[in-house]
Structure 1
Amino acid sequence: MEPIGRVFARDFSAARHTVDSRDGRDGSHVVTPGGAWCRRLFIVGALTECRGSGDVMQARIADPTGTFRVSADWQSPDVVETLGYIEPPAFVAVTGRATLNGSGSRAYAAVDAEAINVVDRTARDIWVLATAGATLGRLEALEKALGGGGDERAATVIGLYGTTGKDIQDKAGMVRTALASVLPDLAVGEIAPVAGRDLLLAAIEDEGGARGIPESDAVALGVRSGLSARDAQRALEELLAAGECYQPASGMIKPI
């Protein structure tokens, strides 16, 4: 399984180069000035804008350092549908493929989304902490490479971007800015998985009235609870099959 990288938006959006894999068969990496080699990414931030229709959606997702450009098309229909149910602003987690579009000064890095889910502030803060640690590790490698040591990837980054000690200090400042946004005394405990149908049932019970709610609203509730649109629809079918919900009228859902 290909590892999934973590990178802050400010560093990722400054990427202007790609490097092919050694064997040429596994595609290319988007290489950032901060030393990240990105092929697939996991990002968590605030969905601030979402637009599009049909099979194509464009979104902007902000972390404490900047904004990611995110897109989804017919190759990821569940992402397209899920985005249609999410009303900005909302914290979301996205897994996707890193791409570099255009060339030269017009080039811009983006993420082709493969999966998206609504999350909470704690999930965002945990991502910031993990991404800060990964970024500092890459900056240390760049610093060593400037002194003649370090690894091959760090040396390649310096060659591509002409990295200086001041550039590394600037990126370290970016990390400090991100960490300042994390809630104090964040405690990361055990996170127990919750079945999709249980999440959806709880949401329907909280929001449903005497007549129940429309099926489309039930799916929207599932998405806002952290499910994808496809998983919310599957959970709804499970609730109906298990007799925990019923349809008082066509297109309406109500818990027993």
Structure 2
Amino acid sequence: MEPAERVFAREFNAARHTVESGGALYVVTPTGAWCRRVFIVGTLTGRRGSGDVMQARVADPTDTFRVSADWQNPDAVETLGYIEPPAFVAVTGRASLMGSGPRAYTTVAAEAITVVDRTARDLWTQRTAGVTLDRLEALERGLSGGGDERVATTIGLYGTTEEDIREMAEAVRVALESLRPDMVAGDVAPRIGREILLAALGARGIAIDDAVTLGVRLGLSARETRRALEELIAAGECYQPTPDTVKLL
């Protein structure tokens, strides 16, 4: 069985394209997730229906997934019928894009649904933030001519820009704000700072003070922002044409 992708609801709902590959149809999201199946964890906020068909809404820290369950997966239908909202749930299911153009919307056809706790939701949020940043890094390389065929296809479909990458990195930061104080985000915050700064630098560069201001405004600490800048310089991805500015190579 094909692995299930992890995506935030905001990103999944922004998907407007499908691509056939290897005889399978994938929903392609703006960060470059190619979704045939997805694994989501969030709050079941509502459900309706009965018998063989049920509809539900599952909210993560960024937006809400549309979830359905039908006769093809009777256990998912029955299980959903027993869960009273609100409740934390984990859902594995098939990704679909319904309609086309501005009215298109995504859905998840549940294959399995289980009740989980807040810790499971927070761990999913952390892990999903990490893989989303991996995809954003791949897009950043793709804008410079690197990356694989799927990255190039994603950029072509969505016309991805550095500003888009910065906005998507900001959405990850917002998602992490929902974590309990005792949940440690590891190295995710510096990676968010890295993606925001890479997108902000552009071809013209930016004053270091302006870069720190941007990072702080987006929720990073000044220390995290400066650390991200130092890592970019050490990795050879940017340089300092003058002592108080930094620019992409």
Pairwise same-fold verdict (TM > 0.5): yes
Give the match for residue 138 of structure 1.
135
Higher relative contact order (CA 8 A, sep 6+): 1
Q: Flag the 1:33–1:187 CA change in 2: closer, same or farther, 3 A.
A: closer
Report the Cα distance in structure 2 between the residues aligned to 1:76 and 1:187, rounded to whole angstroms: 36
Give the match for residue 9 of structure 2.
9
- TM-fit CA distance, 1:5: 0.8
Is residue 117 from structure 1 mapped to residue 114 from structure 2 by the alignment? yes
- TM-fit CA distance, 1:186: 2.5
Is residue 179 from structure 1 mapped to residue 180 from structure 2 by the alignment? no
Q: Which runs of 4+ in 1 moved over 3 A?
A: none
Is residue 86 from structure 1 mapped to residue 90 from structure 2 by the alignment? no
Q: Which runs of 5+ in 1 are unaligned?
A: 189-256
CA RMSD of aligned residues (A): 1.3
- TM-fit CA distance, 1:184: 2.1
CA deviations 1:199-227 (Å, max 9, x no partner) are xxxxxxxxxxxxxxxxxxxxxxxxxxxxx
Give the match for residue 197 of structure 2.
none
Give the match for residue 231 of structure 1.
none
Give matches, 1:107-256, under 5 Å.
107-186=104-183
- TM-fit CA distance, 1:10: 0.2
2:65 aligned residue (50, 68, 80): 68
Report the Cα distance in structure 2 between the residues aligned to 1:73 and 1:59, rounded to whole angstroms: 11
Report the Cα distance in structure 2 between the residues aligned to 1:74 and 1:149, rounded to whole angstroms: 44
Give the match for residue 33 of structure 1.
30
Give the match for residue 103 of structure 1.
100
User: Secondary structure of the residue that 1:88 maps to in structure 2?
Assistant: coil
1:43 aligned residue (40, 45, 65): 40
Report the Cα distance in structure 1 between the residues aligned to 2:17 and 2:123, rounded to whole angstroms: 29
Report the Cα distance in structure 1 between the residues aligned to 2:145 and 2:179, rounded to whole angstroms: 35
